[in-house]
Amino acid sequence: MPSLDKPDSHTAEVRSAGSDPAVYVEDIRKSFGEVHALQGISFTAARGQVLGILGPNGAGKTTAVKILSTLLRPDSGIARVAGHDVRKDPAAVRRSIMMTGQYAALDENLSGRENLELFGRLMGLPRKAARQRADSLLEEFDLTNAGRRAVRHYSGGMRRRVDIACGLVVRPEVVFLDEPTTGLDPRSRQGVWDLVNALKTQGITVLLTTQYLEEADVLSDNIIVIDKGTVIAEGTADALKQKTGGSYCEVVPLDPTHLAAAADALGDLVPEATRTEIGSGDRLSIPAPDGAATLSEALRRLDSAGIELADIGLRRPSLDDVFLSLTGHSGGIQ
């Protein structure tokens, strides 16, 4: 895992300034002609945590990230990154952040090492320091053997690692990862996940936009859901799932024609609304407010009634269920 440089005295001073968030957004609005991309979004990201930003295509996620990284100017509202106002002091914001998009912004004709050296020089490092930092990052990102090969010969996962490493040549306070695992195979995705956790371990704040709901679930300390330019939900993954209905017990009779009999056997465990919908499908889902105790009681009643089961289990709503309930459609790449 990458072990980043220790923060300089200014960074240490900022970090000791109390509980000020690393990112503060209040009533930010942005329109493009008649299209209202952001309609007053507000949220914060704590220092040293991962904030997942979810939303369907066109929801406003990328517009928000572009404003926070000073690539776009908001029409109104307040946005501060690492204590710097994005409108009043964009240069200071840019010095405090690192951003990587869906596609690696690398010179494919240069080697990985040369790309890292180039970024180091662009960030103001002397030639020798840039070379030393490049070698250090290649080792930390497990790219030493590939470091002298042209990037055009790299796999997607290797390109992503070099791309992120380039942003860490000088230690940032906030990292923006805009759908960083798009197009990567499962092994490469896991590698990026490990990098995100390494950034968090180093006390760096990460804003992660993604349409892979599993990714947000695994990595994020807190999540906001943006739809149609507004924040429609915010909280931890568990808190958002709880809003969707909490745990439930799923019952699958061995013979689907016994579904009504299973519902009768379960008695008052089956909500009336669920009972009226019996007739289609092969399973029942009942609330499990007491978790395993509800599952045990359901098993006891079904066994007493002689209902044979293909499956029974205690389930929790997925983040995809949350996304569906909040936005009206499921998540994932569209």
> Could you identify the residue written with the tokens 């996940």?
193
252-297: pLDDT as tens digits: 999 988 999 999 999 999 988 788 878 767 888 888 888 889 999 9
Give the lowest-confidence range in 29-33, 169-173, 242-246.
Answer: 242-246
3-state secondary structure of 53: strand
Which residues are CB-neighbours of 10 under 8 A, at least 6 positions away? none
In this model, does residue 13 exceed pLDDT 80? no
39-63: pLDDT as tens digits: 999 999 999 999 999 888 888 988 9
Give the lowest-confidence range in 35-49, 83-97, 132-146, 234-248.
Answer: 234-248
Instruction: Tell me the HSE value of 38 on the side-chain side, using a 13 A CA sphere.
Output: 28
The pLDDT, as a whole number, for residue 7 is 39
Torsion of CA 126, 130, 136, 139, to 10 degrees: -170
Say which amino acid occupies 188: S
pLDDT grade for 24, boundaries at 50, 70 and 90 = very high
The answer to whether 51 touches 23, Cβ cutoff 8 Å, is yes
Per the document, the length of the chain is 334
The answer to whether 109 touches 141, Cβ cutoff 8 Å, is no
pLDDT grade for 6, boundaries at 50, 70 and 90 = very low
94-120: pLDDT as tens digits: 989 988 766 557 888 999 999 999 989
Q: Is the pTM of this model over 0.85?
A: no
The pLDDT, as a whole number, for residue 184 is 76
State how far the Cα of 53 lies from the Cα of 230, in Å rounded to an integer: 12
State how far the Cα of 67 lies from the Cα of 38, in Å rounded to an integer: 10
The pLDDT, as a whole number, for residue 14 is 40
Mean pLDDT score across all residues of the chain: 85
The pLDDT, as a whole number, for residue 174 is 95
